[in-house]
Structure 1
């Protein structure tokens, strides 16, 4: 047992005046983390004797996981989707865990015929149990991307799918990435430069909830601060969530020029350029781009540069010069259109018997068109993905190679204080655990693709190719995520690859995209959780078991909820057949459906070649490959000019990749909050920033989530709507912003030019 000493650690930069308990025999540990935010947030202490995988962990963790999977999938079908994050469970389970610790029997039980002994109550509710329960909850809150396939098949294409095939699809797409995580964990978890900034709010909140603190004179403790912000956020969300929804997007220009399409296109924060638009709602700030308080400053700046270049330079030039007949369509839309400016009628070009493209019908109908922003975003996605490879190779390649060599040699000097402590007390996860998960997932994926009358349309070679694409991109995408909090998406490149190789089959396309994209995303999620466990000093084997169990449970409940609603709600997702005011409009699934038309039914050969409308978008591949080179050269040429090394082209190019559903008002609100806290407050009041910023982020998220759930189940779920007045609209009062401006185009509700 390690020796217990009470002493102050002079190397720690923690600005609080608390004494640190050092649980190690030997000399002081030096906080040699190279990342200042980590030094300010993560303690360098541990108690290896704390309980971890206990009865309390399993009961509270599995319950939280299942409940959040149900709630988030349920709300995602509704017009105003609500995302309940793991922070909500993180708050709720603390008093329950402490209650269980005070009431459950402490008797130790012996399992028959084994040496294994356990107790329902091994002692006080520990921070490590709390962290594992939160990771369980995070599995449920993360969603299951493959459910989109089930939704568009049944609700949009009106076709059947065997529930076993759907369940296998949901499970295997979520589990496949664990194999990649096992291969790269040495580089992406043990390396101190891979710091995963999104984990720091969680670490800060755990410390606030579990560490004893003295209240500063004239101030509040971190726990008191958290409770104050939580209650305030909970109370305030009554206003934008129920009484005054228009606060989420205030677009003043539209209120002045009520009859001008152009001015509403300029001023609308939801369907236009968003000049002068902002929101007074934390969900506007954080719902699509996540909390800006968890982003490093350079990432925020790069995001805003990319947003401004696209929305205020490229988009206006493209639209008002009428590139690609842009004025025939809305300036901001995710839908597909025909040449007359109407929403594309995909049923006219689908062979209903074979469920693939009817070429003759397509040639006699119309090419597929998209809004100019949607077209630009595809080109920028091409550039951003290639830029991710070249940027990581140039800026991080040498470090990754050295880190890999250090990891292979198990060098004692490798890593920082947190890596040394983890190696000292805890055994790593055996490689075969990851390999077994990978092989099992591949086998069941092949069964899902090749069996069940091949309803998923994807042949075996297509699945294996998607696995190869995911493997190639997992490392560079993970490096970018671990250092910037932004993950370049693989959806476009996967759609393009299978669209060229296997055109005319929409479900094959989205299935390939899901396997190729989500296995990488799941690897990133797993690695991020491993880093959280790294900071919290949780045994890696316990982390793996919790993440694996949580993923299986979350996938099952998420799929079950979706299947239940698809079978029980009449005309779900069909806005033309749903009664007026119905909430079951499936926002987000329409984007997925549009992508299946563009890349699957029509295919990139009829979109991005001379046979289509957008062949010039292919030049973005070359542009993305070359853009990081000048910045890398200048950063080496002028090493004292630090900002040159902060130019991050994958972030700049990918800034608007989530538009839509992200809108201009979300970017402006997110950027303003992020710059205020991570530039002004960080530099002027660093002690306050270190003590409170991440707790502020967690409290705002939790208050919003609790009030959102309360409003739905207490009022909105019972059809008790808010007061009927001007401010009770979910829009921004810019109805003309979605209108085309080309002469002769007729769209309902819009003037004809």
Structure 2
């Protein structure tokens, strides 16, 4: 069961209506149109692409948009045929010959096998980054299996508990979804070899103990479970601030309701945003491409190699609402620090979780995972992890001696809860009116509300007015939010990031495009994995055992910097003096 696999194109023009079961993706399951209508439009689209002039990719795309828009007017379901085309009016869309929606340059296929080359005539993404990482065909493989759920939930248990415990430590250590992606591979293959091939019944439903070879879709479901559950819930910092610093305990039920609700509210927004942030091809979600490329490489010997489908938000950068929510509530209800923490969490984490869930939906879209299976995996893993995190948090607070004290020997000083407490004092007790209102010390910063609101409009008009100029690369979120990690990040962090990005995403992409197409995202995955594994080894082997790490230039050079020595400041205050007004 599940051993047969057949590949088929997954682009819009070739997408079939397919039914939802354990073996077949369901992206077309909600369409009202008959397959005949879809084939008819596909033939018309292909005829246009063959008769269009050479610069026809961009121009042909604009000609197709009205037709696809008419199609979408007839469909109000979850996935609407042609939505990729509706939202492809991207000022950064590659120019003229660089886009080929229905054909790839044969030269870029030289390193691939004949089966992949034969797919060159099929619909593909207009974005080189997506073509380099994502396959443009689907395979009938089981994904909603007992094996995927068992391995996934086991990793949720390990990852959520470990990350919650070590979030109380400074410096912290954590497991990421990339680690889960690597660990799941040998676990899935071992299950495939050891577990007997027979059926059992769970809650009245029959399921296979061993549905055949461990496949890429099962693996993707496991990665999604890890992605939504490994990050420590934002609400745990509220609980820490209440229990440790405000000495308030509202009980375990309050903690569970708070954590589950804040972690889950984003799902509704994520579902509503699929049409705009998941299905359009211009929504690349660059962060997903590394995981997709690594996943495809891990299964390359069993399945046909790359190229790709559609993508998500283009900058891989998100701006949080946490400070804005504190600012707003500090004016609404000054002097209410606990209420401010709740308002901040619901106001910020709802958006942040929604974007995280949308990113996972895009990953599922790239991997051709049925949306209902994706949603179930996300919800179950999220809810399960909330129970785990609350249990681990309360266990740690009750059993680690001196926890959350600055002198705690193992450095379990609760940095997140401490920051949350400090923010509640600054924004709740002191309040923004004493800091930002007219006549106060930082009142001039309010002008940036106007600048931030106007800048995107100016950039948009500039890109429309001068489409071939550099104005199309101006993005307000990157300009105003790009340096948001400083502090604690330093110019050294940004410089190394900028150099690596420039070399791989510009120099190598321009001069060695075939190498870039094949290996760029695999190289990124390898660097990320090496860093993650190296961090774990250093922490558990050296740091926890108080063993001095090997001494060499790479380890010692940082100690000579002003940032490390705490000297990167302009003014040293004399004893007894402080910044800010003498009286608030």
TM range (shorter): 0.7 to 0.9
Aligned to 1:18: 113
Distance 1:566 1:29 in 2: 60
Residues 6 and 118 (structure 1 numbering): CA distance in 2 closer, same or farther, change over 3 Å?
closer
Distance 1:173 1:31 in 2: 40
Deviation of 1:717 after TM superposition, in Å, equals 2.9
Structure 2 residue matching 1:171: 3-state secondary structure = helix
8 Å Cα contact 1:201/1:698 also seen in 2 = yes
Find out whether 1:148 has 2:229 as its counterpart: no
Residues 138 and 730 (structure 1 numbering): CA distance in 2 closer, same or farther, change over 3 Å?
farther
Deviation of 1:206 after TM superposition, in Å, equals 0.8
Q: How does 1:369-380 map to 2 (within 5 A)?
A: none
Aligned to 1:493: 324
Distance 1:697 1:725 in 2: 25
Structure 2 residue matching 1:484: 3-state secondary structure = coil
Residues 4 and 60 (structure 1 numbering): CA distance in 2 closer, same or farther, change over 3 Å?
closer
Find out whether 1:683 has 2:510 as its counterpart: yes
Find out whether 1:737 has 2:567 as its counterpart: yes
Find out whether 1:655 has 2:482 as its counterpart: yes
Aligned to 1:63: 154
Q: How does 1:378-527 map to 2 (within 5 A)?
A: 418=309, 482-527=313-358
Deviation of 1:568 after TM superposition, in Å, equals 2.4
Distance 2:413 2:163 in 1: 15
8 Å Cα contact 1:503/1:603 also seen in 2 = yes
Find out whether 1:200 has 2:292 as its counterpart: no
Aligned to 1:89: 180
Aligned to 2:128: 36
Distance 2:273 2:121 in 1: 27
8 Å Cα contact 1:104/1:121 also seen in 2 = yes
Deviation of 1:723 after TM superposition, in Å, equals 6.8
In the TM superposition, what whole-angstrom CA distance separates every residue of 1:270-299 from its partner, at most 9, and x where no partner exists?
xxxxxxxxxxxxxxxxxxxxxxxxxxxxxx
Distance 1:725 1:689 in 2: 32
In the TM superposition, what whole-angstrom CA distance separates every residue of 1:297-350 from its partner, at most 9, and x where no partner exists?
xxxxxxxxxxxxxxxxxxxxxxxxxxxxxxxxxxxxxxxxxxxxxxxxxxxxxx
8 Å Cα contact 1:188/1:194 also seen in 2 = yes
Distance 1:502 1:37 in 2: 47
In the TM superposition, what whole-angstrom CA distance separates every residue of 1:660-713 from its partner, at most 9, and x where no partner exists?
232222111211111111111111111111211211222222222223333433
In the TM superposition, what whole-angstrom CA distance separates every residue of 1:368-411 from its partner, at most 9, and x where no partner exists?
xxxxxxxxxxxxxxxxxxxxxxxxxxxxxxxxxxxxxxxxxxxx
Structure 2 residue matching 1:34: 3-state secondary structure = coil
- 1:52 aligned residue (137, 140, 143): 143
Deviation of 1:714 after TM superposition, in Å, equals 3.9
Distance 2:237 2:214 in 1: 38
Residues 728 and 668 (structure 1 numbering): CA distance in 2 closer, same or farther, change over 3 Å?
closer
In the TM superposition, what whole-angstrom CA distance separates every residue of 1:459-487 from its partner, at most 9, and x where no partner exists?
xxxxxxxxxxxxxxxxxxxx9x7121111
8 Å Cα contact 1:6/1:21 also seen in 2 = no
- 2:537 aligned residue (710, 714, 733): 710
Distance 1:746 1:630 in 2: 47
With 610-619 and 685-694 compared, the bigger mean Cα shift is at: 610-619
Find out whether 1:603 has 2:431 as its counterpart: yes
Residues 684 and 108 (structure 1 numbering): CA distance in 2 closer, same or farther, change over 3 Å?
same
Residues 719 and 172 (structure 1 numbering): CA distance in 2 closer, same or farther, change over 3 Å?
same
Aligned to 1:75: 166
8 Å Cα contact 1:65/1:136 also seen in 2 = yes
Q: How does 1:94-173 map to 2 (within 5 A)?
A: 94-109=185-200, 116-173=205-262
Distance 1:566 1:740 in 2: 39
Deviation of 1:11 after TM superposition, in Å, equals 3.4
Deviation of 1:591 after TM superposition, in Å, equals 3.4
| Number of aligned residues | 478
Structure 1 residue matching 2:207: 3-state secondary structure = strand
Deviation of 1:140 after TM superposition, in Å, equals 2.5
Q: How does 1:169-184 map to 2 (within 5 A)?
A: 169-184=258-273
Distance 1:528 1:662 in 2: 25
Indicate the RMSD between aligned Cα atoms, in angstroms: 3.4
Residues 646 and 524 (structure 1 numbering): CA distance in 2 closer, same or farther, change over 3 Å?
same
Structure 2 residue matching 1:645: 3-state secondary structure = helix
With 584-593 and 611-620 compared, the bigger mean Cα shift is at: 584-593
Residues 203 and 6 (structure 1 numbering): CA distance in 2 closer, same or farther, change over 3 Å?
closer
Distance 2:556 2:236 in 1: 31
With 74-83 and 92-101 compared, the bigger mean Cα shift is at: 74-83
Find out whether 1:209 has 2:39 as its counterpart: no
Deviation of 1:31 after TM superposition, in Å, equals 2.5
Q: How does 1:554-633 map to 2 (within 5 A)?
A: 554-575=385-406, 578=407, 582-610=410-438, 612-633=440-461
Residues 4 and 154 (structure 1 numbering): CA distance in 2 closer, same or farther, change over 3 Å?
closer
Distance 2:278 2:566 in 1: 49
Structure 2 residue matching 1:124: 3-state secondary structure = coil
Distance 1:743 1:51 in 2: 65
Deviation of 1:715 after TM superposition, in Å, equals 4.2
8 Å Cα contact 1:156/1:573 also seen in 2 = no
Aligned to 1:644: 471
Residues 638 and 704 (structure 1 numbering): CA distance in 2 closer, same or farther, change over 3 Å?
closer
8 Å Cα contact 1:588/1:661 also seen in 2 = no
Distance 2:117 2:209 in 1: 28
In the TM superposition, what whole-angstrom CA distance separates every residue of 1:54-85 from its partner, at most 9, and x where no partner exists?
11101110111121112222222222212321
Distance 1:728 1:195 in 2: 39
Deviation of 1:3 after TM superposition, in Å, equals 9.8
Compare relative contact order (CA 8 Å, sep 6+) and give the higher one, 1 or 2. 1
Residues 740 and 646 (structure 1 numbering): CA distance in 2 closer, same or farther, change over 3 Å?
closer
Give the structure-1-normalised TM-score. 0.58
Deviation of 1:503 after TM superposition, in Å, equals 1.1
Residues 3 and 559 (structure 1 numbering): CA distance in 2 closer, same or farther, change over 3 Å?
closer
Deviation of 1:213 after TM superposition, in Å, equals 8.3
Residues 19 and 747 (structure 1 numbering): CA distance in 2 closer, same or farther, change over 3 Å?
farther
Deviation of 1:605 after TM superposition, in Å, equals 1.4
Residues 672 and 158 (structure 1 numbering): CA distance in 2 closer, same or farther, change over 3 Å?
farther
Residues 555 and 55 (structure 1 numbering): CA distance in 2 closer, same or farther, change over 3 Å?
same
